[in-house]
């Protein structure tokens, strides 16, 4: 019930934003969540956090800050490594290192029974991406940090940009 209330709150907040004006200035994409890799595989299996197929959906809004930087805002839900529904929402920025490579970070709000003993939290995360016009391949490093996350993990997902097709 707590997750449903939280999800409804996120939907209401996102629904109240001035999307028509914002989308005109930037671009709206669809995140398709996917995969994870756990560095401490035996520990992940022992804890029951070994699910490496993490399907889910979300949205990403991005807009240019200047010629070399973009900012973005992600919101979504996926099945996490502990086989629970995880909600994630937050802003970030990408530096355009080359034509396709993006280096950056995000500040993400997480809510899942798997992380932080089931309590919601906010964490900074490094993000690496490779961008083609219609698709962005994303990778995030989620470090082992006390009770927040007990296993070093890489997460992978793609963002589809409808304007690019």
Q: Identify the residue with better confidence: 18 or 27.
A: 27
Q: In the predicted model, what is the mean pLDDT of residues 133-142?
A: 97
| Model confidence at 1: pLDDT above 70 | no
108's CB contacts (< 8 A; 6+ apart) are: 74, 88, 89, 90, 92, 122, 123, 124, 125
pLDDT for the residue 145: 87
Domains of the chain: 2-164 (2.40.160.20)
pLDDT for the residue 8: 47
Q: Which of 105, 103, 109 is nearest to 92 (CA)?
A: 105
| Model confidence at 20: pLDDT above 90 | no
Which pLDDT tens digit goes with each residue over 70-117?
999 999 999 999 999 999 999 999 999 999 999 999 999 999 999 888
Other C-beta atoms closer than 10 Å to the C-beta of 120 total: 13
Q: In the predicted model, what is the mean pLDDT of residues 134-144?
A: 96
Burial class (CB in 10 A: 0-12, 13-18, 19+), 15: exposed
Q: In the predicted model, what is the mean pLDDT of residues 59-79?
A: 98
Stated pTM of the model: 0.86
């Amino acid at each position: 019930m707590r997750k449903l209330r939280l999800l409804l709150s996120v939907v209401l907040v996102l629904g109240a934003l001035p999307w028509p004006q914002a989308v005109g200035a930037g671009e709206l994409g669809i995140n398709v969540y996917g995969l994870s890799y756990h560095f401490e595989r035996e520990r992940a299996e022992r804890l029951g956090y070994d699910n490496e197929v993490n399907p889910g959906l979300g949205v990403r809004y991005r807009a240019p800050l200047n010629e070399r930087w973009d900012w973005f805002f992600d919101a979504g839900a996926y099945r996490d490594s502990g086989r629970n529904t995880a909600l994630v929402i937050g802003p970030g920025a990408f530096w355009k290192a080359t034509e396709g490579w993006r280096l950056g970070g995000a500040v993400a709000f997480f809510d899942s029974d798997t992380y932080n003993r089931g309590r919601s939290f906010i964490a900074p995360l490094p993000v690496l991406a490779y961008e083609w016009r219609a698709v962005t391949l994303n990778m995030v490093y989620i470090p082992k940090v006390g009770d927040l996350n007990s296993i070093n993990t890489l997460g992978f997902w793609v963002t589809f940009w409808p304007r690019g097709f």
